[in-house]
Structure 1
């Protein structure tokens, strides 16, 4: 909002002499006789300059103008402040709604991607949920790329596990075998003589007995 001071090109605390000099300079600049071809524009500007000088050159009128202007400026600034607050609140609300909508659409795309659907299906589903085309495209591309990277990572882990098993099958078998309890330390036995009869072992279906009987036909 241009003030009378701004129309003359002086500050609000300008002296009477400064206002007079500014008026003469502006009047010469915008006099219709000095603006051939732009007489209408110059005439309107020249009239505004004359009206501004008429008020500011009179001390009583200048005081009234300053008081009214100050009051109007306070009201104007208060109105501007309220409007900015309303606009800021409206912007925050719109942003929150957009973020909630975006989060919802990402969740929908993730669910369909987990079910094995393609990128085009994700895009179509989002469009069907009234999602903006550009936003739907970005979400579909991002979710699809994420899902593919997850599949690739899982396939890599499975391949590494299979390679490890093939590289060391003995270690795998050993790791899966149950631990065997250690035998108690054996007592030293006296040396056998030719008169001693071998001690009879109890008959059993042990592996050693089966091999002995199979090869030599000897039964105890």
Structure 2
């Protein structure tokens, strides 16, 4: 907020002598005779300087101005804080709605992927649910990649189980004989530790 102190170029705690000196400088700077070619601008600034000095050079008017300005400053700050609070609340609500929309779109994509539909179908379904194209593409790509990885894991597990059940007993690893079964073999960590510090026995 512009103040009459700023108009004269002084601080709010300026003395009367400082105000007078600032007034003389400002009137010389903005006198219309010193601003040829921009007389209208200079005349307006010159008038503001005179009005500011008229208030600040009078102790009573200056006191009233300071009180009124302080009250207006508080009111302006309160209004600004209320506006900022409203903007933060609105932003929070937008983020909440966006998160809910995102979670809903992911759930839909996962359901269709689980039913065996491919990535393009997921993308089309999301577009049909008012999902932005860029977001729909990201979700479709991620969900489809996740579903492919899940299916690959299931197939690998099934294959391993099938091989284990079909393997003949002859191919199973022989049981260690009693002479060696009780011997303790060092772990990989122990081997590394002893080898590093030369403590292997």
- TM-score bucket of the superposed structures, by smaller chain: 0.7 to 0.9
Tell me the distance in 2 between the aligned counterparts of 1:23 and 1:73. Answer: 25
Secondary structure, aligned partner of 1:98: helix
Shift of 1:10: 1.8
CA RMSD in angstroms comes to: 2.6
| Residues 156 and 17 of structure 1: CA distance in aligned 2, closer, same or farther (over 3 Å) | farther
> Which structure carries more helix by proportion?
2
Asked which structure has the greater CA Rg, the reply is 1
| Residues 160 and 39 of structure 1: CA distance in aligned 2, closer, same or farther (over 3 Å) | farther
| Residues 12 and 173 of structure 1: CA distance in aligned 2, closer, same or farther (over 3 Å) | same
Q: What are the Cα deviations for residues 94-144 of structure 1, in whole angstroms up to 9, with x where unaligned?
A: 221111111111111111111121222112111111122222222222222
Shift of 1:43: 2.5
User: What's the TM-score once normalised by structure 2's chain length?
Assistant: 0.73
| Residue of structure 1 equivalent to 2:62 | 62
Tell me the distance in 2 between the aligned counterparts of 1:69 and 1:172. Answer: 96
| Residue of structure 2 equivalent to 1:205 | none
| Residue of structure 2 equivalent to 1:178 | none
| Residue of structure 1 equivalent to 2:109 | 109
Tell me the distance in 1 between the aligned counterparts of 2:170 and 2:33. Answer: 107
Tell me the distance in 1 between the aligned counterparts of 2:127 and 2:148. Answer: 22
Tell me the distance in 2 between the aligned counterparts of 1:171 and 1:91. Answer: 69
User: What's the TM-score once normalised by structure 1's chain length?
Assistant: 0.68
Tell me the distance in 2 between the aligned counterparts of 1:28 and 1:145. Answer: 75
Matching of residue 170 in structure 1 with residue 176 in structure 2: no
Contact 1:165 1:172 (8 Å CA) reproduced: no
Q: Which runs of 5+ in 2 are unaligned?
A: 174-201
Matching of residue 126 in structure 1 with residue 123 in structure 2: no
| Residue of structure 2 equivalent to 1:7 | 7
Contact 1:126 1:136 (8 Å CA) reproduced: yes
The list of structure 1 runs, each at least 4 consecutive aligned residues, that deviate by more than 6 angstroms after superposition, is 163-166, 171-174
